[in-house]
Structure 1
């Protein structure tokens, strides 16, 4: 073990010990009751059995993004690690071996490195890269990105990221801008592939009847976003009384809180939980279920895409665009800027502009995507024995 690796591992152990009481407490929260025990204490999280390619993804979006690639890899033995529980559930649909990624120092004893380790987007765990490379795996950073907003922080630590990225055999970036940023950090073997999310097969899994009204879905909303969305909807509804709103919070642990907020913000109109009624008869429906967004996009006229009215970075616009929704989103789109280049007719507004954007949407064409990506070059690289 090199001196830096030893120092880094000891630092990780010290941080683990310091955080131990908080990790125990968080383990009892519904959101973390699976992931924290598995990641930090290896609870029900055994090492992989022999496999060919190990994909590491963070959460739901990245887990869904690799599905077309896994399909093209055919009978290749796939294993996947994730950070979040939603990512774990999604990955379980595509691979027989799915685990939570252990906290870094555990990787020295946990990792069973295959021929190739593929790390998605910005999951830059130093010991994951270092151990995989040292044990003979080819290490690939896929769909790699560094946002314009985040780059100054990376650049201040470029001595560290140069060391980390030196463990990569190939870095496939989302865009030319991303490639330039990686090179500025000292990375080699960098090329632009494009965003693999463009290869996703976006389909509805259930068919709901389209209500005879303007149906608006507020998708993947975060803390602080629901109130201006509901207020914007109420102002719009004064001139469009038949309009209905579906609110789909990003995180299930917020369902009850958001329902209470809706009742407080709009006490004079009807509001119901999706789990109680799926008939689209109420003015506002709180969708307290996971995995329904594509089904709701398929029957919605307008999609208010969350994560961009608060400084979260935005969410995937390809899904509502695929179904022809008219997309309204916020101005904090730093994590989705590249994908949004491929989506046409999107309104970017501040929270107070939601009502006007809804009115303007009546005369705008539907949003749509006109780009694709060919994954065959990537598949050939991953199947190459070197």
Structure 2
């Protein structure tokens, strides 16, 4: 049955891939995909990773950063990295030159070389990735595994598929006991609860920013539709705190220019001053748009209030621990379903509806500084990896 599934899955996915080729070719000319699509779907400038290493696969910028505690305990010469996003690639390149875009599954037959271990972050459930790595001799690990309230029913509907995927995974390290139970119901075995790896080693300050004299509000990792709401709330806030300043940090680099234009138009109406961080690395204007990666933790270190994006729209939220480590007062929307375990590990986060953001911001004196209650233990993962060296 397992062999038959492997053959059928491979044939069907190859057929889908061939049908999609003309569309993928056209999309590859778009600026957003000009690197990722040629590399992932045509293997353009995407050489296979060298064999016999420890291979980490992570999807996004945040996940790529989160694996650093594991990366730091391993010899650099055996590190192999892959990702599916441009921002993720920028992070993993800092770990090793053996960093690549992960090819689409059927292309793994040609691309994948034998490795000692495959370590996959969170919810990257690619059947052929696990199956081929295992067939070619790798020990397979799923780390920081989670199963949110929102996603679990969807996984259950496709339970037959995930049972086959988990047959290819040797060890699973889950974020919470509830995640463990849900993963086991889908067929996961050897599941250990280790907490969220994102709490194991939080990013530290890389550059000291000079804090302005007034209250500093950081709108962190914002998404489409959230900036407008935050700008309105800040305008009301400025009437009470005239020397307050706002730093907006859009989540996706491709939105930087759009957000800058939005902020400039808003500032003209409100008579606020505005600047781009890339053009002036100070905080002198009423509103600063942080159009650079890797600086958010430096902003957290001097912020009084943090409005955490990704949760005022049904995105799933972002990591609040990075701000909480500095004792910032944190305001979040209610849609933090992908970060539920992290939120439970932090005291003091104020969860507010978008319609109440302005009012709660004006009541900032009543908010409590956020504080971390717990961290994670990555020791079992480290021991498992070192056992193969």
Secondary structure of residue in 2 paired with 1:328? strand
Shift of 1:100: 0.6
Any gaps of 5 or more consecutive residues in structure 2? none
Q: TM-score normalised to the size of structure 1?
A: 0.96
Give 2:363's aligned residue: 360
Give 1:376's aligned residue: 379
Deviations 1:194-226 (A, max 9, x none): 111111242111111110011111111111111
Give 1:280's aligned residue: 283
CA contact (8 A) 1:273 1:288 kept: yes
CA contact (8 A) 1:173 1:191 kept: yes
Which segment drifts farther, 311-320 or 188-197? 188-197
Give 1:102's aligned residue: 103
Shift of 1:359: 2.2
Query: 289, 292, 313: which one pairs with 2:292?
Result: 289
Deviations 1:74-110 (A, max 9, x none): 4661101101111111111112311110000001111
Shift of 1:384: 1.7
Deviations 1:135-182 (A, max 9, x none): 221111100111110011100010110011111111110101111111
Q: Does 1:331 find its partner at 2:341?
A: no
Deviations 1:31-82 (A, max 9, x none): 2222111111111111111233111100111111111111122466110110
Secondary structure of residue in 2 paired with 1:279? coil
**Structure 2 Cα separation of the partners of residues 253 and 114 of structure 1:** 34
Any gaps of 5 or more consecutive residues in structure 1? none
Shift of 1:376: 2.3
Deviations 1:248-277 (A, max 9, x none): 111111112112222334422222222232
**Structure 2 Cα separation of the partners of residues 334 and 282 of structure 1:** 34
Q: Does 1:86 find its partner at 2:81?
A: no
CA contact (8 A) 1:233 1:354 kept: no
- Kindly tell me the number of residue pairs found equivalent between the two proteins: 386
Counterparts of 1:202-351 in structure 2, within 5 Å, are 202-266=203-267, 267-268=269-270, 269-351=272-354
**Structure 2 Cα separation of the partners of residues 207 and 180 of structure 1:** 43
Give 2:29's aligned residue: 28
Give 1:136's aligned residue: 137
CA contact (8 A) 2:40 2:101 kept: yes
**Structure 1 Cα separation of the partners of residues 34 and 383 of structure 2:** 39
CA contact (8 A) 2:215 2:244 kept: yes
Which segment drifts farther, 256-265 or 59-68? 256-265
Counterparts of 1:167-178 in structure 2, within 5 Å, are 167-178=168-179
Secondary structure of residue in 2 paired with 1:54? strand
CA contact (8 A) 1:139 1:170 kept: yes
**Structure 1 Cα separation of the partners of residues 278 and 388 of structure 2:** 50
Shift of 1:191: 1.8
